[in-house]
Amino acid sequence: MSTRSRVIALTWSLVGVCAVPAWAGGGPSGLEELSKKSQACIECHKDQNPSLYQQWGSSKHFRANVGCYECHAADPADPDAYEHAGETISVIVSPQDCSRCHAKEVREFVGSHHSKAARILGSLDNVLAEVVEGNKGFVTKGFPKGTSAAAVDGCWQCHGSQVKVEPDGQLDPATWPNTGIGRINPDGSEGSCAACHSRHSFSVEQARHPDTCGKCHMGPDHPQKEIYEESKHGIAFFANVSRMNLGNAKWVVGEDYSAAPTCATCHMSETKKQKVTHDVGMRISWNNRPAVSVRPEIADKKMDLPGQAMPWDARRSNMKDVCFSCHSTKWVENWFVQYDELIELYNEKFAKPGLALYAAAKPLIKPVEFGNKIDFVWYEIWHHEGRRARHGAAMMGPDYTHWHGTYEVAKHWYSEYIPGLEELVQANIGSTDPAKKDAAEKLKALLDQTLASDDHRWYTGNMDPEEKAARAKAAAEFKARYENK
């Protein structure tokens, strides 16, 4: 327990604790009365920040007499502690602080990929925001040599950043405000509960609404929000919001609502057989973030997360349990067959050969990340278009699976990626540099092998004769059906 946690725990013990309400999830939660210290905070804040005061007043914290001081009290030794109105407080309430009452929820969250989102810092994605798009113009005490505003205002606001504390206890403006879900807090904990449970109402209704997830899960590289809105699930939700019972304390699919599922329904919320989980990976059977989709336990093992012990098929069973609330067994089983086949198609036709070709091309291009056109082309094939295809299939969004997904993958593969690699071969195959010549020959051999495969032979005009004939017949039948209409 941190120094700050000890201080706050002592505060709680002094003001008194009542029975644990069902919503708390374990640990001390309800106080007999609002502490005098919190009353003093409120006297000021209800005038200076009336909306903040009203948000707190509509929260379950208010009903449990959990006020400002119970969450924000700090020890002078804490790195982000400072004096305010005669009290030592900290602005940030970290998951470690929340865990005093919500131990189970925080334990699950800390073991999830959500809480590790800030580990993107230093990754290939961040090279774009910090170097390619940005500069070192954002200078603060925490970043005396500067950092990139593109990263601060973009990447870090979803993924989180390391919050830096100035010598007087104030938070560095390059790192605060920040409710990125993987925020690295001054107390060393990872994550931000407020990313989903917005301060100071901490509304469960808001956390269950798809719009909350849409702050981060949207856009060209992971448009889950847009896919959901396109899907039958999203259509049903927005047509039946009034029937969703989003604010109910007990929220079991099939009991408390049945009109539609939300993001929370499928990935987190309670079913008749499963309790709520704050590890959103426990029902996911593919990790579609990397260039090649992998099973989630593989990704969890790389990050040393507890989920490495949970095999993908067990997670899929968890998800099927949610599906069965509305769908028949055969419907669910067949849908997962469709999903798996799309992942298999993407992995085998584009991702695996694409990675191999990119590695073979490396000796022939500038050794600078994103210093070559081919870098951008390959990056967008897997990071943008390939993800859209995979996420579209995962969430039943056909337009994102096809037109925003596999079509874009194929278009850029055949119109930019393969021609770009062929140009590299031609430019280096006759080089006087033995290393360049050898690399070009190896790349050519791999290109020839890839394009001769069943997946790509059509591109070179060598489609299987039987398939070619079948396609010609189908085209003739299509034309005949419509030419007299």
- For 397-439, the pLDDT digits (tens) are 999 999 999 999 999 999 999 999 999 999 999 999 999 999 9
Q: DSSP letter string over 151-170?
A: IIIIIHHHH--BPPB-TTSP
Give the H or E element holding residue 204. helix 204-208
Token output for 390: 């995979």
Where b means 16+ CB within 10 Å and e means fewer, 263-298 reads bbbbbbbbbeebeebbbbbbbbbbbbebbbbbbbbe
Return d(Cα 316, Cα 284) in angstroms, integer: 6
Task: Say which residues have a Cβ less than 8 Å from residue 104's Cβ, sequence separation at least 6.
Answer: 25, 26
Which carries the bigger pLDDT value, residue 449 or residue 167? 449
Helix, strand or coil, per DSSP, at residue 384: helix
Residue 29: predicted pLDDT: 52
Residue 130: predicted pLDDT: 93
Return d(Cα 152, Cα 173) in angstroms, integer: 9
pLDDT-derived band of residue 484, with 50, 70 and 90 as boundaries?
low
Mean of all residue pLDDT scores within the chain: 93
pLDDT 10s digits, 197-215: 999 999 999 999 999 999 9
Residue 470: predicted pLDDT: 95
For residues 12, 15, 18 and 20, what is the CA-based torsion angle, rounded to 10 degrees?
-20
pTM of the model: 0.91
Angle, in degrees to the nearest 10, between helices 36-48 and 50-57: 130
Q: Is residue 292 predicted with pLDDT exceeding 50?
A: yes
Return d(Cα 385, Cα 358) in angstroms, integer: 17
pLDDT-derived band of residue 24, with 50, 70 and 90 as boundaries?
very low
Residue 5: predicted pLDDT: 54
Q: Is residue 12 predicted with pLDDT exceeding 60?
A: no
Return d(Cα 253, Cα 266) in angstroms, integer: 9
Residue 9: predicted pLDDT: 53
Report the percentage of the chain scoring pLDDT > 90.
Answer: 89
Helix, strand or coil, per DSSP, at residue 88: strand
Residue 121: predicted pLDDT: 77
Q: Is residue 11 predicted with pLDDT exceeding 80?
A: no
pLDDT 10s digits, 296-317: 999 999 999 999 999 999 999 9
Report the percentage of the chain scoring pLDDT > 70.
Answer: 94
